[in-house]
Amino acid sequence: MQNLSKDLTSNDFKKAARRAIFAIIFFMISYFLLLLLAIAFAGLCAALGVGLMSFKIHWLTLVLGAGLIGMGLIVVFFLIKFVFKKHKIDRSNLIEISEADAPILYQDIREIVAQVGTNFPKRIYLSHEVNACVFYDSTFLSMIFPVKKNLQIGMALINTVTRAELKVILAHEFGHFSQRSMKVGSYVYTVNQIIFNMLYDNEGYGKVIQKFAGISSYFAFFAGLGIKVIEGIQWVLKKLYDIVNLHHLQLSREMEFHADAIAVNTIGSLPFISSMMRLDLSNNAYDRTLGYYEQKSSVNLKPTNIYPQHQFVMKILAEDTGVEFVNSLPNVTKEYLNRYNKSKLVIKNQWASHPSTEDRIAAIAMGSFPVGEDNGEAASVMFADINGLQSNITAKLFENVEYTGEISEDSFQSFETHFKQDFIKKSFPSIFNGYYDNYNPTKIDLEQSTVNEVSITFDQLYANDKIEMLYSAFSLEADINTLKQIQTEPTDIKSFEYDGDKYQISDINELLPKLEGELSDIKISMSINDVVIHEYFKKKAIANNSCNLYLEKYNALLSFDKT
């Protein structure tokens, strides 16, 4: 059985794995040094305490000696208390499925694990969201012995992809299964649990110190000294935490690229790219669907099955923004995404666990991978009773919502009617091509406004080049604000790229005036177009003997804009 994980491992992946391992080793060495110093400190406190009590038998020497011994024990216990902490993973929001529930899914998974060269998951769970992931029970034993991983698939993901797209997403997750660096992830998870426990999970420990300090004012004094020592240890631990996680996050990003390569090599680049491009739209639709029912909770309304509603909302959003459909699903293209994101600023986020969608797709485009195929078959066919599973997950999703009266089940037909009415009410007509969706027109002095000869057409006023002009201004303004924030606030950022050129932080002073000049020019063009739009409609109003009504409506718009 060929292991694709080895064949597709990049040099960057290997370097990131080595750095993460070295960071963990550095943490372990540092931790044991801290522990040895704490034990030595406790030994010194014990020796001084016993010596003090032996020097003269008196209640004061006994109390002071016991306080010294207690201070040493407090510090040592702080460094080992994580051993006594039990970690329980909450799986109450998940539904475990068997082969009887999803025979085709199990069949496809067997094919994928055979191709990738990895193991079948220990358990397969369904959750409610737009996501798929690998997780495992990480304990001290998992740092030594192999641990079987679990697979989690979000029903909202299944709801908005084809069978081929779901297969490539699962192949990505099984790419993680095959990675030896997942062992590094187990170590980092355990290290994070240890540091988190010592830094933040101190409720029980704090009660112990309070009881100790409450025995007498002398004990309170030694407890205060012990806390000062612990604060010093916590400062060191925070620095270690940053080192370990910085390198692990770098490894995590490389693991994503590596798993992508395995997935695409197994299934194909076509379903990978189409699914990745649609995920943001699917997430947006799912969030809007949840938001709708969050508002309806006040009238005790909930869905029996939220997923037909999710599909409907995604369809509405796609149609509203002009996205074409392929295989009954929105076909989100790079050109569509670029229409709304004109930013030229690139800042490497060293604390991100995942690379951006754009970077992941670009990495696949640079490689030589099979294209694959997608016959458009829905992912839902992989399940024996998809409606039953969706209803069960919906019930789990809403079981903790607090209602004030008798609950009513909302039908899909009712949702379709009310959501569409609300959407239309809150949206501008499509004839404006999204011009006013995120933009309020320039205020025009109506008293000085005169009707000039307007030869431009309605479609030209709201053409795609005008929309691109708006979003160029939005992105440019956001880039300027980001650069100003970097300039004025403390940050770890040393350099950035703008429009393909690399800059240092010291170059911001020189770059900002140039960008502000560009923004000013675009805003002038936007204002000119707003004036032309005003003149166009005013001329139409005069021709229809409704100029006063037009001006009244325009003033109402300006008044609304002020609020």
Q: pLDDT tens for residues 88-117?
A: 667 889 999 999 999 999 999 999 999 988
List, for residues 225-266, the tens digit of each pLDDT value.
888 998 899 899 888 888 888 888 888 888 899 899 999 999
Domain ranges, ordered by start, for the chain? 4-87+191-251, 432-562
Cβ neighbours around 25 below 10 Å, total = 11
Report yes or no: 311 and 289 within 8 Å, Cβ to Cβ: no
- Per-residue confidence (pLDDT) for residue 1, from 0 to 100: 43
For the chain, list residues with pLDDT below 50.
1-2, 5-6
Among residues 498, 495, 477, 476, the alpha carbon closest in space to that of 486 is found at 495
- Per-residue confidence (pLDDT) for residue 144, from 0 to 100: 58
- Per-residue confidence (pLDDT) for residue 562, from 0 to 100: 63
Cα dihedral 365, 368, 369, 372 sign? positive
Q: Which two tokens stand for residue 312?
A: 């409907």
Residue 227 is classified by DSSP as: H
What are phi and psi for residue 291, nearest 5 degrees? -65, -40
Q: Which two tokens stand for residue 45?
A: 């406190």
Q: Which residues pair with 127 in a beta bridge?
A: 154
Report yes or no: 270 and 374 within 8 Å, Cβ to Cβ: yes
Looking up tokens 């300039």 gives 487
Report the alpha-carbon distance of residue 437 to residue 462 in Å, rounded: 12
Helix intervals (H) in 1-89: 4-7, 11-55, 59-80
Strands (DSSP E) along 51-159, which ranges?
95-96, 124-127, 132-135, 150-154
Report the alpha-carbon distance of residue 471 to residue 455 in Å, rounded: 26
Strands (DSSP E) along 123-187, which ranges?
124-127, 132-135, 150-154
Report the alpha-carbon distance of residue 106 to residue 97 in Å, rounded: 10
What are phi and psi for residue 125, nearest 5 degrees? -120, 155
Find the angle CA(555)-CA(560)-CA(563) to the nearest 5 degrees: 135
Looking up tokens 């025979």 gives 103
Q: Which two tokens stand for residue 531?
A: 């004036």
Report the alpha-carbon distance of residue 58 to residue 50 in Å, rounded: 13
What are phi and psi for residue 330, nearest 5 degrees? -60, 130
* Burial class, 396, CB count within 10 angstroms (exposed 0-12 / middle 13-18 / buried 19+): middle
Indicate the residue type of 240: L
Q: Which two tokens stand for residue 487?
A: 């300039």
Strands (DSSP E) along 87-200, which ranges?
95-96, 124-127, 132-135, 150-154
3-state secondary structure of 90: coil
